[in-house]
Structure 1
Amino acid sequence: MSESQGGPRVERLGRDDWEGVRAVVAGFGVSGFAAADNLTHVGARVVAVDDRETEALTERAELLGVLGADVHLGPGSTAATAMPDDAEVLVVSPGWRPDAPLVAEAERRGIPVWSEVELAWRLREKRPDGTSTPWLAVTGTNGKTTTVRMLESILRAAGLRAVAAGNVGLPLTEAVMDPTPYDVLAVELSSFQLHHTRTVAAESAVCLNVAEDHLDWYPDMDAYARDKGRVYEGVSRACVYNAADPLTEQLVRDADVVEGARAIGFTLGTPGVGMVGLVEDILADRAFVAARATSAAELCTIDDLFSPAPHVVEDALAAAALARAHGVGQAAVRDGLRSFRPDGHRIAVVAEGEAGRGVRWVDDSKATNPHAARSSLLAYDPVVWVAGGLAKGARFDDLVRDVAGRLRGAVLLGHDQHLIAEALARHAPDVPVVRVEGDETAERTGPMGRAVEAAARLAQPGDTVLLAPGCASMDQFTDYAARGDAFAEAVRERLGRPTD
């Protein structure tokens, strides 16, 4: 087959048309394994590659080898020369850069490059009437996982067979290939996943916010925002946007949607017609009620949420809007939000009250960029801020300016702590700053243990010590969860000893 024959054929494929198609899967993590596994299941000839070679990946490779896939692990496996001559499509895992050699080689040869999300969309099962399981899609710089999990809880409270999938929960290829089709999918999409989508068209979608992030991957903010905006392409019911973030509304305006799709704003203020928002402490719907010109429907109260933090309320409003667009009733929205509890390391209280010796200790290790850290910091006052890690090209001046008046002190650790220290020196020069150096793991929890000790010395009764790093974790920890665990362990050990 010539280099130009692969693309046109795969662009027309449905679930039952993959027999003999040569598919290359780049990246063999959770989504990559799911893509390779399901492509093998539908009859494709699969080559999977990953530069890593861990015990877990080797076990997966052996399993797929039995099923007929050809898996190559270890250094050099993802070079441009790894692309087979007869390759027809390249499926890339999240985070694969557009300039990666294998991606560049595919584009040079006219081979389509898809995300696992795009593959899942093409593998979804069609019903007799031509429809398929609808997707309710969520993206944004921050709050995606909380919103998707809230949405999943609401949909299940409505009696629907639903699951969170995509960037959280099930890989989408597994979700769409389930022998018992779901009624609806709550889909979290990162900008990396959206970058390589082409035909995905959610029933309804939201971009929660767009803030500086991943500038080590994107050339500029415009490119990052364009990928976020892809979530609205082809939407048929509701494009939900953040009224406090005008860029999200502009992304809706720029999107090519199905005629009749509505733009629905969410706000922490009083909602206008066609919006959801707050009326005092009530989450109210003026978008999906017949008499919205003159009245609103009560969905729940702030007290029904796991936290009254403003960004949590925003996430709840976004989830409610997507559910209401799908036809979910008010009671299910209330019940779903009332029963929802977040995954770990998202504004999780480690200790407070007597156990916290008069100080609240909060783990928000998931706050991996300045925008997320800002949302977390604005929920507490006064705060001893524990921050630092890998900045990923981000800057901290705007964040520090916004929260300076709340800071009792700051404790900084990690590779790019100097960037936060410099912003604090410029915009909050009176705030005490302790910098924790080193990355060794001796003496309890290493640098995190010393950070907690420093925070304890700065904090006063009634304060909150908040781990909201504003940075990625991989300079010192396996991931944000390991960082949060280290914080919680250090806090528990600190509180288990007499106060100095």
Structure 2
Amino acid sequence: MNPDSLSRTSDWSGLRVVVAGFGVSGYAAADNLTFLGAQVTALDESLTDRRREQAELLESLGATVRLGEGATATLPEDVDLVVTSPGWKPTSPLLAQAAARDVAVWGEVELAWRLREVDPRTGRPAPWLAVTGTNGKTTTVQMLAAMLRAAGLRSVAAGNVGLPLTEVVMDPRTHDQPYDVVAVELSSFQLHYVHSVAVESAAVLNVAEDHLDWYPSMREYAADKGRIYAGVERACVYNVADPVTEQLVRDAEVTEGARAIGFTLGTPGVGMLGVVDDVLCDRAFIDERQTSALELCTLGDLYSPAPHYVADALAAAALARSHGVPAEAVREALRTFRPDGHRIATVATYDDVAWVDDSKATNPPAALASLQAYDPVVWVAGGQAKGAGFDDLVTRVRERLRGVVLLGQDAAVVREALRRHAPDVPVIEVESDETPLMEAVVAAAGSLARPGDTVLLAPGCASKDQFDDYAARGDAFAAAVHRRGGGRP
């Protein structure tokens, strides 16, 4: 069976599908494909209790599940379609075999796009407003969803954050209460495996060095980010300060009539959103844009005035405004919005030293954005660098640095950048075998900090060399800070 023409109304029975990877999106894909009647084989190397429970449930519904070492080494015979988890490289053995046999490979996002249901009120499926970028995706999508809900629209944040998209489009409750619009976060990995997705409006927040352990070069990484603009109907939102994002818009094949909309931390030109004095304003979605701008909110309305947070708010507002959300709803949403934990979260302030957890800053550009919001700062950095370098970051923030505390397997990468570009900044490296690790990190940072300083956990690296994830790293930091302060806020 040829899967290219399949949609929500197609007969999926008899389609032979391999689901590669059994994480959140993989399980959602396998579950819904089984429901549709496809012959599903799900493969994963993991043997956790959670995987076993999910496997038992799927097998009771008629799917085949293979778990454990070697389960993903060989593509089964007679396969019509592979639905892959986003983290799988195209060079992985299973996907390479699929390519050699000319078997179609989709991601879960592509599957969800094809399974959308027509809304009887509009005669078309609920539109998607999509966001990608090296940093800020989750915050922006959550802001966007808040704006849509403030406008009275039924919406949800989904994709790389929140619910898997197949769950959103296949939820039986949506048949009676369809979503008006979906706010979608997409990673470069997810975008690599989309083919027919064409969203209403899309934003690329930024493109900076990341995931070079997955991509051969920045060129391929940026190209995958740019796939989000393909077929856009209304607005391609780009970052005026990041020329790569604007070039991706120029290169995109969009629907006739789609507009390029910039966002900037400076005064906006015509067709942009930006900041004038302390006011976030829209000069793109008003009739009088040639001569004036519409106030959306003030910096004082925002949870944080940090530049990267303001940029995220502008990008979310651009997408919301492209969908017709009124300025009052944008303001209401931004006034009440609070980002998820471990994003520029102040843990405590004592002895006139602020301790801030930005553990979500898992690459150098994210760490740079966070560091630029504080001065002077004791920087806590290190972990898994994923092939990234720190020379540019250190060069740009060295005048802000009171000192640096390093941890993790790639601490040397950061240390060498500091040695080259900020040799006078004190550096303390905490050895991995120190127990408890974060107690030692916080003690070292405290020894460097002076009244008026900020101690900032913005590692610029992934966390799984020493922690389960970035949240566990941030939690450990916060707990150690509170113990050091005797429980004082």
TM-based fold match above 0.5: yes
Given the superposition, is the C-alpha separation of residues 223 and 439 from structure 1 closer, same or farther in structure 2, using an over 3 Å criterion? farther
What is the letter of the counterpart of residue 465 of structure 2? Answer: D
CA contact (8 A) 1:400 1:424 kept: yes
SS of the residue corresponding to residue 429 of structure 2 reads: strand
Match among 475, 480, 487 for residue 490 of structure 1: 480
SS of the residue corresponding to residue 79 of structure 1 reads: coil
Match among 134, 140, 144 for residue 141 of structure 1: 134
Normalised to the residue count of structure 2, the TM-score between the two structures is: 0.97
2:77 maps to what in 1?
85
Report % sequence identity.
Answer: 69
Q: How does 1:46-445 map to 2 (within 5 A)?
A: 46-80=40-74, 83-128=75-120, 130-179=123-172, 180=174, 181-352=178-349, 356-439=350-433, 442=435
Given the superposition, is the C-alpha separation of residues 497 and 137 from structure 1 closer, same or farther in structure 2, using an over 3 Å criterion? closer
Distance 1:260 1:167 in 2: 28
Deviation at 1:497, TM superposition (A): 7.9
Work out the number of aligned pairs and report it: 482
What is the letter of the counterpart of residue 149 of structure 2? Answer: R
Distance 1:15 1:66 in 2: 24
1:324-368 alpha-carbon deviations (Å, 9 max, x no partner) = 00000000000111111111100011002xxx2211000000000
CA contact (8 A) 2:34 2:63 kept: yes
Distance 1:258 1:399 in 2: 38
CA contact (8 A) 1:266 1:276 kept: yes
Match among 22, 32, 38 for residue 28 of structure 1: 22
CA contact (8 A) 2:46 2:68 kept: yes
SS of the residue corresponding to residue 147 of structure 2 reads: helix
CA contact (8 A) 1:306 1:338 kept: yes
SS of the residue corresponding to residue 60 of structure 2 reads: helix
Gaps in structure 1 of 5+ consecutive residues: 1-5
SS of the residue corresponding to residue 42 of structure 2 reads: strand
The question of 1:451 aligning with 2:441 is answered yes
SS of the residue corresponding to residue 257 of structure 1 reads: coil
Distance 2:485 2:363 in 1: 29
Distance 2:285 2:123 in 1: 26
CA contact (8 A) 1:439 1:476 kept: no
Match among 1, 9, 33 for residue 16 of structure 1: 9
Distance 2:35 2:340 in 1: 32
1:290-342 alpha-carbon deviations (Å, 9 max, x no partner) = 11001111001111111000000000000000000000000000011111111
Distance 1:379 1:324 in 2: 27
Given the superposition, is the C-alpha separation of residues 167 and 497 from structure 1 closer, same or farther in structure 2, using an over 3 Å criterion? closer
CA contact (8 A) 1:282 1:298 kept: yes
SS of the residue corresponding to residue 171 of structure 2 reads: coil
Deviation at 1:16, TM superposition (A): 3.0
Deviation at 1:126, TM superposition (A): 2.1
1:3 maps to what in 2?
none
What is the letter of the counterpart of residue 482 of structure 1? Answer: A
CA contact (8 A) 1:349 1:361 kept: yes
Deviation at 1:127, TM superposition (A): 3.4
Moved over 6 A (4+): none
What is the letter of the counterpart of residue 258 of structure 1? Answer: T
What is the letter of the counterpart of residue 143 of structure 2? Answer: M
SS of the residue corresponding to residue 309 of structure 2 reads: helix
CA contact (8 A) 2:86 2:193 kept: no
CA contact (8 A) 1:15 1:42 kept: no
1:479 maps to what in 2?
469
SS of the residue corresponding to residue 387 of structure 2 reads: coil
SS of the residue corresponding to residue 447 of structure 2 reads: helix
What is the letter of the counterpart of residue 453 of structure 1? Answer: A
What is the letter of the counterpart of residue 31 of structure 1? Answer: S
1:463 maps to what in 2?
453
Distance 2:279 2:256 in 1: 32
1:261-290 alpha-carbon deviations (Å, 9 max, x no partner) = 000000000000000000111100000001
Please provide the CA RMSD for this pair: 1.1
Deviation at 1:178, TM superposition (A): 2.0
Gaps in structure 2 of 5+ consecutive residues: none
SS of the residue corresponding to residue 323 of structure 1 reads: helix
SS of the residue corresponding to residue 176 of structure 1 reads: helix
Distance 1:255 1:497 in 2: 53
Distance 2:344 2:55 in 1: 37
CA contact (8 A) 2:157 2:184 kept: yes
Distance 2:106 2:34 in 1: 16
SS of the residue corresponding to residue 217 of structure 1 reads: coil
Distance 2:248 2:273 in 1: 19
Deviation at 1:130, TM superposition (A): 4.5
CA contact (8 A) 2:44 2:66 kept: yes
CA contact (8 A) 2:208 2:365 kept: yes
Given the superposition, is the C-alpha separation of residues 275 and 448 from structure 1 closer, same or farther in structure 2, using an over 3 Å criterion? same
Deviation at 1:447, TM superposition (A): 1.9
